[in-house]
Structure 1
């Protein structure tokens, strides 16, 4: 039986900025989150680590990889911050409909294409043996992969919000459907480093 354990982690907290930019890196809290995530994963025998091309994901991967010596690290557009699905806003709450309406036409095409390629690359069992991979990415892709694993309606990627440096694990097996092993796990973070990246009314 072949199986893959896919570890998904959202990047650490980014620096605050008035204008969104791909060059925005991690805040001091974000660097601490990433370092602790790496320590949490130190004993996992990963085959590879992948991360999105934006600076906040790359910096998170660099800090995590410091605890994973010898594991190859790759940047890939597949783990980038893109719209996973051109979701029909009909019947959605106004806040979601307004959120979706803000995406330009090009991203409505390119985002789902990249997400489909990410699913084909990561959300499958290997041909044989056991495989473990880590993908350091963004909120949207993790929400989509969780939705995909649970075979939930496509619009259910909305509202699946991840903590910065939160850890999700999905098992893909040649013998059955995917299994969600862990979701948004932040046991490696002290209370003062939890909750960043979530809407303010979600934080406890």
Structure 2
């Protein structure tokens, strides 16, 4: 029997960023507060966040609505390309478009992203440490690419399939990891806490 506690992984993309990505817009700040209010009744034990301003500001605003969950800055929760596919991995009808979308990725980006993506799977997924039958609730405030990568992994989809999984700003995705069971995608890109006029991608 697989040991460990059940992990509930809450994934959130940062709030709407300023054009220069130096921080959040007023809409982005409001989105983050609304997400924090939604999570107020969830026993979040820790808020991991990427190092860039738009993620760290979002995490801080969310944490301000929670009951003492500590903030933890993590390079692993940053903004990077988790996997760079080769043309022959991709569907013929979309390969050209997807590779053009990624044509800015350098070899250094590719290597660094792959290493960080592997660390993200190790750090954030699977059952948590703790006695069987207990639950852990963790929030990761990150970027679109990493949300797509972790969802792809939960569904055991091909590595390239993080592409096309587009997450709204401050929307919420939840994955459950129970010992001895397959990961369960409980919700995807849920923006029900954000009024329609404040929803952005």
Settle same-fold status: TM greater than 0.5: yes
Residue pair 2:9, 2:138 contacting (<8 A) in 1 also? yes
Asked if structure 2 preserves the Cα contact closer than 8 Å seen for 1:87 and 1:100, the reply is: no
Shift of 1:176: 0.6
Q: Structure 2: which 5+ runs fail to align? A: none
Note if contact 1:50-1:74 (Cα within 8 Å) is conserved in structure 2: yes
> Which residue of structure 1 lines up, in the alignment, with residue 172 of structure 2?
167
Give the counterpart of 2:154 among 141, 149, 159.
149
Deviations 1:63-121 (A, max 9, x none): 00110131111100010001100211343432211112210111100001001001001
- Shifted more, 160-169 versus 119-128: the winner is 119-128
TM-score normalised per structure 2: 0.92
The within-5 A match list for 1:1-204 is 2-17=5-20, 24-90=22-88, 91=92, 92-127=94-129, 128=131, 129-194=134-199, 196-197=200-201
SS at match of 1:12: coil
Question: Does structure 1 conserve the Cα–Cα contact (< 8 Å) formed by 2:38 and 2:193?
Answer: yes
Q: CA RMSD in A?
A: 1.2
TM value normalised by structure 1: 0.90
SS of corresponding position for 1:42: helix
Q: Please list every run of 5 or more consecutive structure 1 residues that lacks an aligned counterpart in the other structure.
A: 198-204
Partner Cα separation in structure 2 for residue 153 and residue 104 of structure 1: 22
Contact residue 171 and residue 181 of structure 1 kept, 8 A = yes
Does the CA-based 8 Å contact 1:89-1:100 persist in structure 2?
Answer: no
Match for residue 202 of structure 1?
none
The number of aligned residues is: 191
> Quick one: distance in 1 between partners of 2:165 and 2:171?
12
